[in-house]
A = this chain, B = another copy of it.
């Protein structure tokens, strides 16, 4: 079974660690959000690509869910203490090696796809990792107090504190899907929307022209990132209201109503099954707090089984 997964950061990465236990890893293509990418200290940093890479490669910091296990902060401390550089974005030493490789490839005229392939190759990842686009796309948060912040600046730098007036995925309209993205989606038996933030992770991916339509043509299942009316981690509760969406598993399903054949909600949200079904989607309820890779694998199996088999007419 060929699976394409649309992925953001930590939640997606943990889900993917389960997915590759229930389908052939080499049959999985992960299309990763790059709207969070930023340039810091001259380095091109792709937080979501890195989180997925480190997690699937077995090198992620286990508690954080991002960055490298056992990493140190020598370079970052020197940049801060000696050179007065901003330190709001944590940059571990091992992690920095990845950014150096990516930045060098880009500086030499390579694409983000090329850099991603090189890095994924070094980590010996069996799934194919693709950035959503090789073009510059930047998610920006316009705050209620009138500032226009890079998403990472708002999220990491200001702790997602400033109230959000609007989220803009700058550059998305002019972007082209990265090489292989549309082909992989077109060949997918199932497209999975990982449990990632709908506004700043899955949203930017689907905003790349051509992608939403391509996904809509395939069987699609999503896993709710909202459990019990809250985001499992992250800041969906700060962002969903900005797009007029309630913070609930069924409301998020509604954002994908044109795409979904199935939607997996947490067992704690079993009471929302009817509301989701009313969107015309199949619903599964299961444990979705991925405390172990085994839970993630079970969650992935539940998701795939929901839409595998004969294609169901889509009502929503």
In the assembled complex, the Cα of A82 lies from the Cα of B72 at a distance in Å of 16
Contact across chains for B79 and A42 when beta carbons are under 8 A apart: no
Q: How far is the CB of A50 from chain B (nearest CB, A)?
A: 13
Query: A312 contacts the other chain (Cβ, under 8 Å)?
Result: no
Q: How far is the CA of A257 from the CA of B94 in the complex (A)?
A: 51
Of the listed stretches A100-108, A202-210, A291-299, chain B binds: A100-108
The answer to whether A97 and B122 have CB atoms under 8 Å apart is no
Across-interface contacts of A43 in B (CB, < 8 A): 100
What sequence of 0s and 1s flags, for each residue 98-116 of chain A, a beta carbon within 8 Å of any chain B beta carbon?
1011011001100000000
Instruction: Evaluate contact between B103 and A82: CB separation under 8 angstroms.
Output: no
Distance from A154 Cβ to chain B, minimum over Cβ atoms (Å): 23
* Closest B residue, CB atoms, query A100: B41
| Most chain B CB inside 10 Å of its own CB: which residue of A42, A96, A101 | A42
A146 within 8 A of partner (CB): no
Contacts of A107 in B (CB 8 A): 42, 107
Inter-subunit contact B101/A74 (CB<8 Å): no
Q: Does A93 contact B (CB under 8 A)?
A: yes
Are A96 and B122 neighbours in the complex by a CB distance under 8 Å? no
Q: Does A244 contact B (CB under 8 A)?
A: no
B75 and A101 contact, CB distance less than 8 A = no
Interface residues of A (CB under 8 A from B): 41-43, 72, 74-75, 78-79, 82-85, 93-94, 96-98, 100-101, 103-104, 107-108, 118-119, 122-123
